């Protein structure tokens, strides 16, 4: 699946471009919290979605861009009848999706839980096709009926 197909089947709510720097994530958290509230997600779910998107952005900053300054992250938030859809895009070389695994939860050490949180919180998590550069992470959170 590609970005155009995803966007064709949902209403775009937000299209945000930010510098790939941790200081910019405060804006991302605020925007995601507001969108999740407007979509009617309960408070705990809103907080969890904010955490998942934050962790995904941090992974781009740290692992895709290796903390390089002057890089950009693009975040689109779409709404379908049944879900909020988050598309996180970068211009880094294609990521080896097989290498992205949450660490063993038995290992007691700080950090490394972002992938675990993202997969636990979101209902769907997938990387869309990447040819040479430009990764797109699609995360979906379904509305509770």
The dotted CATH code for 3-142 is 3.30.565.10
From the number of C-beta atoms within 10 Å of its C-beta (0-12, 13-18, 19+), residue 86 rates as buried
Q: Which helix (H) or strand (E) holds 51?
A: helix 43-59
What confidence score (pLDDT) does residue 95 get? 85
- The predicted model scores a pTM of 0.88
Q: Which helix (H) or strand (E) holds 72?
A: strand 72-79
Q: Where are the alpha helices (DSSP H) in 16-112?
A: 25-38, 43-59
What confidence score (pLDDT) does residue 101 get? 64
What confidence score (pLDDT) does residue 111 get? 58
Instruction: List the beta bridge partners of residue 87.
Output: 76, 138
For the chain, which ranges sit under pLDDT 50?
A: none
């Amino acid at each position: 699946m590609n970005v155009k197909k995803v966007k064709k089947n949902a209403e775009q709510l937000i299209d945000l471009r930010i510098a790939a720097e941790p200081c910019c994530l405060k804006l991302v958290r605020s925007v995601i919290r507001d969108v999740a509230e407007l979509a009617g997600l309960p408070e705990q779910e809103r907080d969890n979605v904010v955490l998942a998107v934050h962790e995904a952005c941090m992974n781009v900053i740290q692992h895709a861009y290796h903390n390089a300054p002057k890089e950009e992250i693009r975040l689109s938030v779409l709404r379908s009848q049944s879900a909020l859809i988050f598309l996180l895009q970068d211009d880094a070389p294609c990521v080896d999706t097989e290498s992205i695994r949450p660490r063993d939860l038995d290992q007691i050490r700080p950090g490394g839980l972002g992938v675990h949180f993202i997969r636990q919180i979101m209902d769907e998590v997938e990387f869309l096709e990447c040819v040479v550069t430009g990764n797109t992470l699609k995360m979906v959170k379904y509305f509770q009926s």
